[in-house]
Structure 1
Amino acid sequence: MRRIVYEAFGEAEVIHLVRAPVPEPGPNEVRLQVVAAGLNPIDWKTRRGLGFVAQQIGDKLPWTPGFEVSGTVTAVGADVRDWKLGDRACGMVGFPLGAGGYAEQVVTAADRLCQVPENLDMIPVGGLPLAGLTAWQGLFEHGKLKSGDKILIHAGAGGVGHLAIQLAKTLDVHVIATASDENIDFLTGLGADEVIDYHNDDFVEECYGLDLVLDLVGGEVGRRSVHTLATGGTLVTVPTNTADAVIAAAEEQGLHAVNFTVRPDTEQLESMLELMEQGDLQVHVEAEYHLGDAAAAQRRLEEGHVRGKLVLVPGDS
């Protein structure tokens, strides 16, 4: 089979497509033929040697990135009872230190996977697990979102942001999102009640008394977002490299801010697949890339301003 590896941290040029033995599942694992592997910012940040994953894998290179996939089961471990050959599955794989999704086949723990309904397209589903769980946990676990709330979602057109808007609208909440002008119609189509063009308008002047801010940008944006919160409101900041500064800015104002690391959760993922079946959640795929074009895909994601998700499609290479 073929997979992507890099043997050193650096720019996208360190990424290579190589031949590798087909992996065999352990007793509690399954092997998937990958249909689609979603790209996430953690992929390129790790490749550049940034973040908590890079700190842990520096002496374990070469390494194959990719934490979210959809695929079909091609082998099951001896102790696996809930999966059979040909089943359609998706999930977070190898998180946080194993990864491996940028490949034609990947082995993962059986209990990290969910059945994919037959009527769902497997390509957008491949971009759901990590991004969707980040949105879900940010909104509902750490943000305690409830009906009647008024919330702000930064980077609303991105991979996590466009899913967060749709998930928030499953409750009776007022959703404000920041985006560039060309994405306003896209986000209103997903259910956003207001979209602030961050190039021309100051969200701090436009927003006040918010119950929740989902900060997917961090840095100065995260710190300034503190001033939009109501007393008792919560700011959930996702980027880890600026989280301490954002949390400190909130504490200086007597307000609450948190940072978190997404975790696999099959119940939450199953709930999102049900929403997709019902037509209440869609994963927008801006572009599909062949497995051999993984370097170009990561460059595109690193440039920013991706609408929705990018995915690798190994079978089309």
Structure 2
Amino acid sequence: MDSRPSTTMQAIQLQNPNGTAALASKETPRPQPADDELLVRTHAAGVNPLDWLICDGHLRQLLDEPLPWIPGWDISGVVESVGADVSGFEAGDTVYGMVRLPGAGGAFAEYATVKPHEVTSKPARLSHTEAAGVPMVGQTAFHALFEEAGVDADDRILIHAAAGGVGHMAVQFAADAGLRVIGTASERNEAYLRELGVDEFIDYRNQRFEDEIEPVDVVLDAVGGSVLERSAEVVRPGGVVVTLPEQPPEPLVETLQREYDAEISFFSVTDDAAPSTLQRVTERIDAGAVEPTIRNTYPLSEAQTALEKSATGHVRGKLVLTVEKDE
């Protein structure tokens, strides 16, 4: 029997830019780490809207590699080997992180190469499956609250889509920091969100949040569109609205800031994410203050199904692809 290591791996590839139906599981060459890279054996990979958005032809600037393309940015796994110039890691280390963003990801595969600054030690209290659900949403929520909005312990915060990927992490960060948390979601998520730390709940399908709440200090808007404009109405003078889905037009920002005396801030995870933020997220996880909700898991071969589920926009917490048996 040949004991030499395989030079190939299974990976999910987008064959053409015609949507998630163009995804296929293929045997591909195993990547080789450069001198400044790690090779990680993937145990689990998180699913994010970026994955299906790119498959559907959006955000093409992130495709810095030609098709076929391997999606995925969130990864949790074990270091297989380290490049000659890498220090601080060795084979066998368990790591997780958000890799190659901005740029083509590569996490939906049995192996991926990453830069050392893109990963950190996996929290011991989380399995690989749980850890894979953290990096993108955890960093986004943390950055939006503590760096963009600069929240204080006595603030009141309104979090839209509070049961979603970013939202459910933001609720926990805010509650742990002592904020009074108001969350919008569908009625079926009320009990879940109250367990996470929501003090006031608004069923967005049957209630208009601007008719239900007193002015707040901060709004975290993971919905966009008219919700951004309506959110500016409920922010106290001098408060902050952090919006995530897309860059609002500058004339709209100027109008809202002038009319409501509120700061309108846009945070783009694709352009502004700082890998160092993940370490701060990890500290909160290690302290037991934050824990990801993994709604469903799928084997790597069912990536298309997972991305289509994500695209519905009605997922509680996160979806994760499992590649190796969890620990």
Q: TM-score category by the smaller chain? A: over 0.9
**Would you say the 8 A contact 2:123–2:285 is kept in 1?**
no
Q: 1:4 aligns with which of 3, 12, 16?
A: 12
In the TM superposition, what is the alpha-carbon distance from 1:110 to its structure 2 partner?
1.0
In the TM superposition, what is the alpha-carbon distance from 1:44 to its structure 2 partner?
1.0
TM-score normalised by the chain length of structure 2: 0.92
CA distance in 1, matches of 2:298, 2:112: 18
Q: 2:136 aligns with which of 130, 139, 146?
A: 130
Q: What secondary structure sits across from 1:20 in the alignment?
A: strand
Q: Residue 102 of structure 1 corresponds to which residue in structure 2?
A: 108
CA distance in 2, matches of 1:243, 1:72: 43
**Would you say the 8 A contact 2:62–2:104 is kept in 1?**
no
In the TM superposition, what is the alpha-carbon distance from 1:272 to its structure 2 partner?
2.0
In the TM superposition, what is the alpha-carbon distance from 1:119 to its structure 2 partner?
3.6
TM-score normalised by the chain length of structure 1: 0.94
Q: 1:293 aligns with which of 292, 295, 302?
A: 302
Q: What secondary structure sits across from 2:283 in the alignment?
A: helix
Q: 1:259 aligns with which of 263, 266, 281?
A: 266
In the TM superposition, what is the alpha-carbon distance from 1:316 to its structure 2 partner?
5.2
Q: What secondary structure sits across from 1:289 in the alignment?
A: strand
Q: 1:14 to 1:162 in 2, by over 3 A?
A: same
Matching of residues 229-248 of structure 1 within 5 Å? 229-240=235-246, 242=248, 247-248=253-254
Q: 1:235 to 1:179 in 2, by over 3 A?
A: same
Post-superposition Cα deviations, 1:28-84, rounded to whole Å, max 9, x if no partner, equal 110111111111111111111113xx1352872221111111110001000111111
Q: What secondary structure sits across from 1:315 in the alignment?
A: coil
In the TM superposition, what is the alpha-carbon distance from 1:248 to its structure 2 partner?
4.5
In the TM superposition, what is the alpha-carbon distance from 1:242 to its structure 2 partner?
4.7
Q: Residue 36 of structure 2 corresponds to which residue in structure 1?
A: 28
Amino acid at match of 1:87: D
Q: Residue 4 of structure 2 corresponds to which residue in structure 1?
A: none
Q: 1:229 to 1:291 in 2, by over 3 A?
A: same
In the TM superposition, what is the alpha-carbon distance from 1:247 to its structure 2 partner?
2.6
Q: Residue 140 of structure 1 corresponds to which residue in structure 2?
A: 146
1:113 matched to 2:113? The reply is: no
Post-superposition Cα deviations, 1:215-258, rounded to whole Å, max 9, x if no partner, equal 00000111111101100001000011656576355234142101
Post-superposition Cα deviations, 1:80-102, rounded to whole Å, max 9, x if no partner, equal 11111110001110111121011
| Structure 2: runs of 5 or more not aligned | 1-8
Amino acid at match of 1:284: T
CA distance in 1, matches of 2:257, 2:221: 16
Percent of aligned positions with the same letter in both sequences? 36
In the TM superposition, what is the alpha-carbon distance from 1:120 to its structure 2 partner?
2.5
In the TM superposition, what is the alpha-carbon distance from 1:21 to its structure 2 partner?
1.1
CA distance in 1, matches of 2:252, 2:76: 34
Q: What secondary structure sits across from 2:168 in the alignment?
A: helix
**Count of paired positions:** 315
**Would you say the 8 A contact 2:120–2:279 is kept in 1?**
yes
| Structure 1: runs of 5 or more not aligned | none
Amino acid at match of 1:187: L
Q: 1:14 aligns with which of 19, 22, 44?
A: 22
Q: What secondary structure sits across from 1:268 in the alignment?
A: helix
CA distance in 2, matches of 1:281, 1:243: 34
